[in-house]
Each structure stands twice: as C-alpha cells, then as structure tokens.
Structure 1
C-alpha cells in the first residue's frame, strides 16, 4: 500500500464519519434546539466536506487539526442527554477532555460539561 492509498483510505474514513454525523446534528437541532459547533462554527445543515473543513479550521484555533474521530463520541453522547435549547461546542469539549486529568469517560465528562443545558425538556409544555 502506498502513501497515497493510506491518505485516500484515511480521507474516506473521515468522510464516512462526517457523513454519519449529519443526521445526529440535524436531529439534535430539530428535536431539542441544540446547535452543534466546532470552535464557534455551526455544523447545522453542513455538507460532509464542510464538516471536515470546519474540523480542519480548528488547527488555526488550537494549533492542531481536530479529527471527526475525536468529536464523534461527544456528539453521540449528546444524543443520550436530556438537553434543552443550547449551543454546544464539541471542538471545545474534545480539547477540554484532552486536558482533563480526572480520568472520566467521554460520557461522564460530556454530561458534566453540559450539565447546565440538561433537564430543560421537563420545563417545556407538552
């Protein structure tokens, strides 16, 4: 396998992950009024390539590229939480998680980090 084959395989893998993020982002936005961001840039209604470019943009903010493989677990965890209307930056969550020394799982860390946005659904009228 050549370097080009490795790069292409890696690109296809990241593209597949970004593609799987689109329905999750859309559902969170439609059903819970949650806007998913990466370093203050919305991922709502974005294409696969736009999601990948937004993750690459993180290099300008954090000094290193952010991969969709790093942010997908945070996004998946958000779907399990009782979130109210909010804006949640999964890029910042991933960066803070890397720096965190408490030894929490992604699920525990995410639940703790967005605790202020949870529980709001009970306050809504049926």
Structure 2
C-alpha cells in the first residue's frame, strides 16, 4: 500500500462512531417491531433481538465480508 492510499486512523474512528450511533438507534426499533408486531429480524441467520451494539456491528461486518463489501 502506498503512502497516498493508506487510510487515516481518524477516518476509522469517525466511521466507527457513526456506525455505532446507527446501531444504537436500531435497538429500540428492533425491540418495538418484535414486541408490537411480532417481527423477528435476522441478519444472515443471526437474530437481532436483544443484541448489544457491538453484537449488531459484528453481525453487520460479517455480512459485509460475505458479500465482499468490506
């Protein structure tokens, strides 16, 4: 990897914080869908109900890797 193409660490952190905020916002929505509408959400076979933020991020990263979008 050349010096020009190397990712900047600050970009990784801001990207992580943005993804973390989105996952935090998803948790109440997922719970509401489950409780009020009896909808169980899955991401490649993994249930998204009662998951922590980091669990959602890990599951999403797995999907990105499977889909070659990492």
**TM-score, scaled relative to structure 2:** 0.82
Query: Which of the numbers 33, 38, 58 marks the counterpart of 2:38?
Result: 33
CA contact (8 A) 1:36 1:43 kept: yes
Question: Separation in 1 of the partners of 2:64 and 2:18?
Answer: 20
Question: Separation in 1 of the partners of 2:68 and 2:11?
Answer: 24
Structure 2 unpaired stretches of 5+: 1-6
CA contact (8 A) 1:39 1:61 kept: no
For residues 10-44 of structure 1, what are the alpha-carbon distances to aligned partners after superposition, in whole Å with 9 as ceiling and x for unaligned? 10000000000000000000111101111121110
Matched position secondary structure for 1:34: coil
Question: Separation in 1 of the partners of 2:27 and 2:63?
Answer: 19
Give every structure 1 segment of 4 or more consecutive aligned residues whose post-TM-superposition deviation is greater than 2 Å. Answer: 59-65
Structure 1 unpaired stretches of 5+: 66-126
How many residue pairs get aligned? The number is 64
Partner of 1:14: 19
Structure 1 position 61 matched with structure 2 position 66: yes
Question: Separation in 1 of the partners of 2:65 and 2:20?
Answer: 21
**TM-score, scaled relative to structure 1:** 0.47
Instruction: List aligned pairs for 1:104-123, cutoff 5 A.
Output: none
Report the CA distance between 1:49 and its aligned residue.
0.4
Matched position secondary structure for 2:51: coil
